[in-house]
């Protein structure tokens, strides 16, 4: 599953004062730490007995949740994913290499029990309960499967997550066991209640009204080591506290506090002892942490990436796939990476795959080359002729509106693209918007020609393939540009039906090449994974592909 973010480097903003968009590193050393995703991570691992009991972990988010149901299209954000992780059930955990293990807090076993037809059996931990004390049962799983299967378009879902392939969900040996029978094989079955996905109670997923609106202002039932203690939309603060009905290991922390902050303000808040951790997006952010006592930089390349989404809807200036591909070839992604990421990672380079990030098994370069001369020839052939400095066809100038959150870094990236496109006779206008509700009000309705934001991936990359690059009219999910084809849908279907992991990777890379060739979207750079963290914080920082264990996060004795 992919969740979206506005982060100027895959949620909120970063400054470019130190970057200056000139490629100058200002003499700042590149951060040290694990340099390859999938090998290690950097979280200051400590055993439970080295961590003191109690304490409040102070974190930041870019906005108050627009919807507390993360399964909805407007609740599918990176910030909210971070808030829900300590509170909601997931079937599998992952380590730094992305290897999965059953999450025994919630399930005693999750097994692929048949392949013809495919069946997956979930055996729920008999101790697992929702925060009101009611048991988690097979009915919660069945209700969520129905709500996400895509059949009832009144459910405003972010992703089907493979449930469109589930024929039925049945009670197993008792209420604590669910058996999913698939009508089509689903390669990423481990990710249906894992990674960025989570299980919600049947009271939320039972009908469209409750699914879409019941959690618009607050969350109801949860089932994690933490639960919501208080929220204050005016102050922009959410406090989680220990769940008294939690059946697993007692969390070391007493509370986790999320404060809504402009991301440009996070490093200073960290320096002023108002936060305990913050993601770092600029050289000035790194310098702030390096100059502050009690803070350290933790680094593991992340699964978040910056990209451009093209709008291919009828009537859009980019409705013609040939124009989108030409524009793609005219954008110098290597220059963008060198400018934006210099000093933030060892060897800045663009991300060249939509499905996999660098360091993840399956990653390979499937991109189209940077070739402005070819782009100009292709635009000529499509009938876009130069009139002065701008190409025109049928009286319409080639003016492209690039919409983004109002941050210096995003605008800086847009200015590089603006210069690239001028070379081939296209004009780019920069259209900045406030962050609050930008997805709900702008990106999801398709109010853009180009959209700049970030996707957050996880250890289950195939689940996001139909979500973003499949095109199913009436079921947008994450395909905000409304771009796709029956041929690509068919290839996506074949990929998700392949239970052999190596064959699925090969097919996924064919999908990725197809996405490039239809001009759907253009990956730019991968998150370098730099975090500033208070030095006494344990088991938290730059996680890479690993999931956090919120019962062990805390402060060293």
Distances (CA, A) of 341 to 63, 155, 281, 425, 521: 25, 39, 9, 28, 20
Coil/strand/helix, residue 165:
helix
Domain 78-214 CATH assignment equals 3.90.76.10: yes
Please spell the DSSP secondary structure of 344-384, one letter per residue.
Answer: TBSS------SS--TTSTT----PPP--HHHHHHHHHHTT-
pLDDT band at 35; cut points 50, 70, 90: low
Give this prediction's pTM: 0.83
Examine the pLDDT at 27 and tell me if it is beyond 60: no
- Cβ neighbours of residue 529 closer than 8 Å, sequence gap 6 or more: 33, 37, 299, 300, 301, 302, 542, 544
Name the residue among 205, 173, 186 with its Cα closest to residue 70. 205
Q: How many whole angstroms separate alpha carbon 2 and alpha carbon 349?
A: 22
Q: How many whole angstroms separate alpha carbon 210 and alpha carbon 201?
A: 11
Cβ–Cβ < 8 Å for 281, 525 = no
Q: How many whole angstroms separate alpha carbon 479 and alpha carbon 78?
A: 17
Q: Mutual orientation of helices 486-496 and 501-517 as an angle, nearest 10°?
A: 160
Examine the pLDDT at 249 and tell me if it is beyond 70: yes
Query: What is 304-526's CATH number, 3.40.190.10, 3.40.50.2300, 2.60.120.340, 3.10.105.10?
Result: 3.10.105.10
Output the pLDDT for position 9: 29
Output the pLDDT for position 14: 26
| Strand bridging mode 118-124 / 177-182 | antiparallel
> In percent, how much of the chain has pLDDT > 70?
94
Per-residue model confidence as pLDDT tens digits over 209-241: 999 999 999 999 999 999 999 999 999 999 999
* Cβ neighbours, 10 Å, residue 255: 17
Output the pLDDT for position 4: 57
Query: What is 57-62+221-300+536-556's CATH number, 3.40.710.10, 3.30.1490.20, 3.40.190.10, 3.40.50.720?
Result: 3.40.190.10
pLDDT band at 26; cut points 50, 70, 90: very low
Write the secondary structure of 423-452 as one string of H (helix), E (strand) and C (coil). Answer: CCCCEEEEEEECCCCHHHHHHCCCCCCEEE
CATH 3.90.76.10 location in the chain: 78-214
Examine the pLDDT at 162 and tell me if it is beyond 50: yes
**Cβ-count burial 25-41 (b if 16+ within 10 Å, e if not):** beebebbebbbebbebb
Examine the pLDDT at 423 and tell me if it is beyond 80: yes
Structure-block tokens of residue 310: 């093209």
Output the pLDDT for position 18: 26
pLDDT band at 197; cut points 50, 70, 90: confident
CA 456 to chain centre: 2
Averaged pLDDT of the chain: 91
Cβ–Cβ < 8 Å for 555, 52 = yes
Most confident of 170-179, 261-270, 338-347: 170-179
- Cβ neighbours of residue 366 closer than 8 Å, sequence gap 6 or more: 352, 353, 509, 512, 513, 516
CATH 3.10.105.10 location in the chain: 304-526
Per-residue model confidence as pLDDT tens digits over 283-294: 899 999 999 999
pLDDT-wise least confident of 8-17, 28-37, 191-200: 8-17
Block residue for tokens 């919600």: 200
Name the residue among 69, 261, 260, 246 with its Cα closest to residue 156. 69
Per-residue model confidence as pLDDT tens digits over 438-479: 888 999 999 999 999 989 888 899 988 988 999 988 888 889
Output the pLDDT for position 22: 34
Q: DSSP secondary-structure letter at 185?
A: -
* Cβ neighbours, 10 Å, residue 244: 8
**If you count DSSP H runs as helices and E runs as strands, how many of each does the chain have, helices first?**
14, 24
Output the pLDDT for position 439: 86
Output the pLDDT for position 36: 74
Coil/strand/helix, residue 24:
coil
CATH 3.40.190.10 location in the chain: 57-62+221-300+536-556
Output the pLDDT for position 5: 57
Output the pLDDT for position 145: 97
Mean pLDDT of 3-23: 35
Q: How many whole angstroms separate alpha carbon 226 and alpha carbon 250?
A: 10
Per-residue model confidence as pLDDT tens digits over 314-370: 999 999 999 999 999 999 999 999 988 888 887 889 999 999 999 899 999 999 999
pLDDT-wise least confident of 107-116, 145-154, 416-425, 456-465: 456-465
């Amino acid at each position: 599953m992919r969740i979206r973010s506005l982060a100027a480097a895959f949620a909120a903003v970063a400054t470019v004062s130190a970057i200056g968009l000139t490629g100058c590193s200002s003499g700042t050393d590149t951060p040290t730490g694990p340099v390859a995703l999938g090998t290690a991570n950097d979280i200051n691992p400590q055993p439970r007995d080295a961590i003191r009991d109690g304490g409040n972990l102070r974190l930041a988010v870019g906005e108050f949740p627009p919807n507390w149901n993360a399964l909805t299209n407007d609740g599918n954000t990176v910030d909210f994913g971070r808030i829900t992780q300590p509170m909601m059930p997931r079937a599998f955990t992952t380590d730094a290499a992305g290897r999965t293990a059953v999450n025994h807090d919630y399930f005693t076993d999750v097994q692929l029990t048949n392949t013809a037809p495919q069946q997956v059996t979930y055996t729920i931990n008999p101790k697992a309960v929702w925060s009101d004390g009611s048991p988690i049962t097979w009915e919660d799983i069945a209700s969520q499967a129905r709500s996400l299967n895509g059949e009832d378009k009144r459910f405003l879902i972010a992703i089907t997550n493979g449930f469109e392939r589930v024929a039925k969900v049945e009670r197993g040996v008792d209420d604590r066991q669910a058996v999913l029978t698939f009508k089509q094989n689903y390669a990423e079955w481990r990710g249906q209640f894992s990674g960025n996905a989570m299980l919600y109670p049947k009271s939320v997923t039972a009908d469209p009204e409750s699914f879409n609106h019941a959690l618009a202002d607050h969350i109801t039932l949860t089932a994690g080591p933490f639960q919501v203690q208080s929220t204050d939309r005016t102050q922009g603060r959410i406090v989680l506290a220990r769940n008294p009905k939690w059946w697993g290991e007692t969390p070391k922390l007493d509370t986790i506090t999320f404060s809504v902050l402009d991301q440009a303000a996070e490093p200073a808040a960290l320096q002023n002892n108002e936060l305990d951790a913050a993601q770092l997006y600029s050289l000035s952010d790194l310098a702030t942490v390096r100059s502050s006592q009690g803070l350290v930089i933790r680094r593991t390349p992340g699964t978040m990436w910056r990209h451009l989404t093209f709008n291919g809807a009828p009537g859009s200036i980019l409705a013609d796939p040939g124009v989108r591909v030409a524009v793609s070839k005219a954008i110098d992604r290597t220059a963008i990476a060198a400018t934006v990421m210099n000093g933030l990672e060892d060897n800045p380079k663009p991300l060249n795959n939509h499905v996999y990030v660098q360091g993840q098994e399956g990653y390979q370069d499937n991109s189209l080359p940077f070739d402005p001369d070819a782009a100009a020839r292709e635009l000529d052939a499509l009938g876009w002729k130069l009139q002065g400095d701008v190409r025109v066809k049928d009286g319409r100038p080639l003016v492209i509106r690039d919409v983004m959150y109002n941050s210096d870094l995003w605008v800086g990236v847009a200015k590089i693209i603006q210069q690239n496109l001028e070379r081939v006779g296209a004009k780019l206008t920069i259209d900045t918007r406030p962050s609050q509700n930008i997805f709900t009000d702008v990106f999801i309705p398709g109010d853009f020609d180009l959209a700049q934001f970030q996707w957050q991936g996880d250890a289950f990359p195939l689940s996001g393939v139909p979500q973003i690059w499949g095109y199913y009219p009436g079921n947008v999910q994450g395909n905000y540009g409304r771009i796709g084809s029956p041929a690509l849908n068919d290839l996506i279907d074949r990929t998700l039906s392949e239970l052999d992991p190596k064959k699925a990777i090969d097919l996924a890379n064919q999908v990725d090449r197809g996405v490039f060739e239809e001009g759907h979207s253009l990956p730019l750079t991968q998150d370098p994974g730099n975090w500033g963290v208070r030095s006494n914080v344990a088991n938290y920082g730059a996680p890479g592909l690993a999931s956090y264990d919120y019962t062990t996060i805390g402060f060293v004795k």
